[in-house]
Structures are given as C-alpha cells and as structure tokens.
Chain A
Amino acid sequence: AQRVTQPEKLLSVFKGAPVELKCNYSYSGSPELFWYVQYSRQRLQLLLRHISRESIKGFTADLNKGETSFHLKKPFAQEEDSAMYYCALQDDKIIFGKGTRLHILP
C-alpha cells in the first residue's frame, strides 16, 4: 500500500539557517512525488514536483529511490517560509503525509 511519512510535526529553524523537511514513502512502483505548501490563511498549493527537477522559492527536493525519500531542502531559510508543508504521492489517487509545520525564527 502506498504511504507517505513525514516524521516531524514541527520544525523550528533560525532565519538564514538551512532547512530540511523529511519525507519517506512506501510504494511498489515508480513514484510520482510532490510537495504542497499551505501558508497562513491561504489555500494549499503545489510547491514542486520531483519530475520537474525544479527549484521553487529556493526549495529543491531530490528523489532517492534507494532510501525511498523525497526530502525538501532550502539552503537559507526566510521568514516567509513559515507554513505547513505536505509531501504527497500519486498513483491513481493522491495521498498526503501528515504534514510538517515549519517555523522560521527571527
């Protein structure tokens, strides 16, 4: 069965410090993975997808099939990065992890 695990409920990071939000998945096939973000009082929105290999707002995520991970990283945290982050996996439906709240400390 497909499963997405985000082990951290809350991650507090100082402004300017590196950020890593962890995501591990369980899936028998070749996964399609995404990161979604929910800023305060805004709708959930797509941040990035692994297939695009893109960098959005300074965030990147690399799919590691050996470790079944898709961690989200940013070298220098900014205060506006404070939000709820969800990792998601897709086959014929989309399943989300429990989310990690990122709190950037001034």
Chain B
Amino acid sequence: NAGVTQTPKFQVLKTGQSMTLQCAQDMNHEYMSWYRQDPGMGLRLIHYSVGAGITDQGEVPNGYNVSRSTTEDFPLRLLSAAPSQTSVYFCASSYRVQAGTFTDTQYFGPGTRLTVL
C-alpha cells in the first residue's frame, strides 16, 4: 500500500491564482480530512469527509473547496490564492471517525508546502 499520498510536494502561487492540492489513499478509508499547519497555530482542520459524496467544514474552511467523488480521492481547491494561505497542508485518512466510537489511527500524508506571493 502506498498509504496517503499528496501532490505536489511544493508549490508557489501568485495572489489570485487557483490550484488543486491532490490527496489519495489506497486503504479504503471512509474518513479523510485536510489540515493546515502554521507556526504557533498547530494543525487546523479545513474540511473533512466521512465518505464519498459527503463533506463538511472544519475550523478554517474559508477560501477552500473540497469534493469527495470517490473513496480514494479528496482534493482541496484554492479558488483565489491569498498570502494568508501560505502554509503546509496535510491530508489524513482513517477507517471511521464517529462520536462515541473507537477511532482507528489517522494516517497522514507527507504534506504540501504552499507559498502564495
């Protein structure tokens, strides 16, 4: 298994440009999520999905869109990049995340380092 893969590893954008960060997993995980990691701010949840066709907002969803058309893929779209979106983005997945139940380990991707000029 490749686990959780993310592309690209690095990206530089100009303000106003759009792009899609790719995330894929081959473990048949239902739950997938996107976080951004910023110094002093830790990991903040952007969007998450509990299964194909289902997405929901996390703590910092503004400026980002997601879709989940397949179990394997969970792309993150930046519609109009801003310097405030300069960050390291992590994708994560696990079998299931449900309140009140045992949660499987979350597996993280290697991250995408995004710089917006």
For B59, the chain A residues whose CB sits under 8 A away are 95
Interface residues of A (CB under 8 A from B): 6, 9, 29-30, 32, 34, 36, 43-46, 49, 51, 86, 90-99
For A32, the chain B residues whose CB sits under 8 A away are 102-103
- Alpha-carbon separation in the docked complex, A97 to B35 (Å): 12
- Alpha-carbon separation in the docked complex, A98 to B59 (Å): 13
B43 & A99 in contact (Cβ 8 Å cutoff): yes
Interface residues of B (CB under 8 A from A): 33, 35, 40-45, 48, 50, 56, 58-59, 90, 92, 97-100, 102-103, 105-106, 108-111
- Alpha-carbon separation in the docked complex, A21 to B62 (Å): 32
- Give the number of A-B contacts (CB < 8 Å): 59
Min CB gap A71→B, angstroms = 17
B45 & A92 in contact (Cβ 8 Å cutoff): no
Min CB gap B112→A, angstroms = 13
Min CB gap B27→A, angstroms = 14
For B42, the chain A residues whose CB sits under 8 A away are 6, 86, 96-99
- Alpha-carbon separation in the docked complex, A99 to B58 (Å): 18
